[in-house]
Amino acid sequence: MNRVAFADRVVLVTGGGRGLGAAYCRELASRGAAVVVHDNGSDTEGRGHDPAPARNVAAAIVDGGGRAVACVADASTESGGREAVDLALSEYGRLDAVIANAGIIHDDSFEEWPTDRFEALLRHHLLAAFHVVRPAFAVMKDAGYGRVVFVSSAAGVFGQPRLAGYAAAKTGMLGLMNAVALEGAEFGITANAILPMAATRMALALMADAADTADGREFLDTLRVDQVAPVVAYLASESCDRTQLVLSAFRGRVAALQIGVTRGWISENGMVSAEDVATHLDEITDTDDLMVPSSIFDEMAYLA
């Protein structure tokens, strides 16, 4: 088995100062990567600024004999994303992979969700990914090589109560992944995603007082960051030549998400009524002949 290695590779990790992001940084550095630890140190709702988390992770990697530099700009802004990419280039002369991991959390019943909080979730997850990946994509395109890993969530793909903003932002990451994968294919750029679960400060924020109970602690103990970080390392590596791959990782299990479309029902005359949908719903939802398209064109060709 060939070792997944990052010799001479440079990886930028957004939200790299704590939790899973810090675990990704450590895992990548242990495999030889030079790491840009990008984190402005805000709290779980996106407020405040603390340079210590990013600098501490970078310093620990350097103290251990690795290569790392901290960027404490705000990834949710266009200038902050560009600053991190520019730092990778000025410090190491290249940028080979990006882990779009930055984000915040807020939970509320749907009818009570404040607009500013919903917008903040989109900004700190989806826009933060866009603001870093867009300038990184140009660098990778010129180099003819790149790896992009978007950190999505099962809370969005499958749903979780009280997380409207988080779910919308995290599912949007998959749409961004699809576009980057398709546009990057001819330039040696892959784009994949992960649905992780781990005991991080965001998980603790959601669990609130339940995290301090015996059952809560036992549950969190089963969700370790070291069960996720190696999966991200693989997706960010040269060893991974797949694109548009979405992996779920937690509790030692790694599984693939498949988003498919059924064969469905086809109208003989091209006309469809609401009554037709009701009549043929069982045929429409029959998954026996499920197809997994890699683009919108694949689904259109399915009818040919």
List the catalytic residues. Answer: 166
- As a whole number of angstroms, the distance between CA 250 and CA 193 comes to 14
Rounded Cα distance between 177 and 191, Å, is 6
CA distance 23 to 151: 13
- What lies within 8 Å, CB to CB, of 49 at 6+ separation is 40, 41, 42, 72, 74
Report DSSP letters for 159-186, one per residue. --TT-HHHHHHHHHHHHHHHHHHHHHGG
Structure tokens at 280: 């043929």
* Closest C-alpha among 165, 153, 43 to residue 107: 165
Neighbours of 297 (CB within 10 A): 10
Partnered with residue 146 across adjacent β-strands are: 189
* Secondary structure letter of residue 123 according to DSSP: I
